[in-house]
Structure 1
Amino acid sequence: MKRYDAGIQGEQEAENALTRQGMTLRTRRYRAEDGEIDLVMQDGETIVFVEVKARPQSRAGQGMLAVTPAKQRRICHAAMHYLLENDCMDVPARFDVVEITRDGLIHVKNAFMASM
């Protein structure tokens, strides 16, 4: 399976898992000028920006390591753009990471804090 296809499949798995937890999808693969967000979900009153790391050949923890401070900044910039574009600046938000490995799916809530 190609890397892109694995990523799309991983995003779908993550979306399904988060939906089972009671979240609803706002959008997939949101792109801003200086960043991208895999999934934007709604968890009650909170908007959740989700980075999905699909590493089917890796062990748990490897995907989290790929969400570097530089990657976090790009996600945060895209999230700010999303919040402004959707008039949601006063809505609570958080950043989660979903890692999919050969060991299964791991959902890390509040995986990192906003940094600009």
Structure 2
Amino acid sequence: MTKNVERGRRGEEIAADYLEGVGYRILRRNWRCRQGEIDIVAAEGDAVVVVEVKTRYGHGAGHPLEAVTPAKLARLRLLAGAWLLENAEAAGRSIQIDVIGITLRPDGSHELLHFEQVSA
């Protein structure tokens, strides 16, 4: 497993634990289709939440949230639609896109920032 894959998996674990801790219910992790992948699909109230997780070691290459560009948000909207088409039980539920940025520190701790409803 490459260092990038390992870092991404660790970040997704941290994000999933955080989301469950604040009341989200995880529906799927690493859902894939031809257009790409959704890191986490969760439910919060009546909403289906598509969560993009970005994880970095430090801020040398910029804050993790800087990697979520307008093009990435457009792709997430496309992926959210594809997920809804494939999961009929979610029909009629609102959809939101959240982004979680995680910075891993050398001492094993981390910083987590969660931005809700970043794209309609």
Same fold (TM over 0.5): yes
State the structure with more CA Rg: 2
**Cα-Cα RMSD:** 1.7
Match of 1:90 in 2: 92
Unaligned runs of 5+ in 1: none
Quick one: which amino acid aligns to residue 108 of structure 1? F
> Which residue number in structure 2 is paired with residue 54 of structure 1?
55
Alignment of 1:94-109 (within 5 A): 94-101=96-103, 102=105, 104-109=111-116
Q: TM-score, normalised by structure 1?
A: 0.88
* Percent identical residues: 37
- Could you list the structure 1 runs, at least 4 aligned residues long, displaced by more than 2 angstroms after superposition: none
Give the alignment's TM-score, normalised by structure 2: 0.86
Distance, in Å, in 2 between the alignment partners of 1:89 and 1:70 is 26
Q: Distance in 1 between matches of 2:17 and 2:65?
A: 20
Note the C-alpha offset of 1:58. 1.8
Superposition pairs of residues 75-86 of structure 1, within 5 angstroms: 75-86=76-87
What is the aligned length? 112
Q: Deviations over 1:79-104 (max 9, x none)?
A: 10100111124211100001101461
Paired AA for residue 83 in structure 1: L
Aligned to 2:3: 2
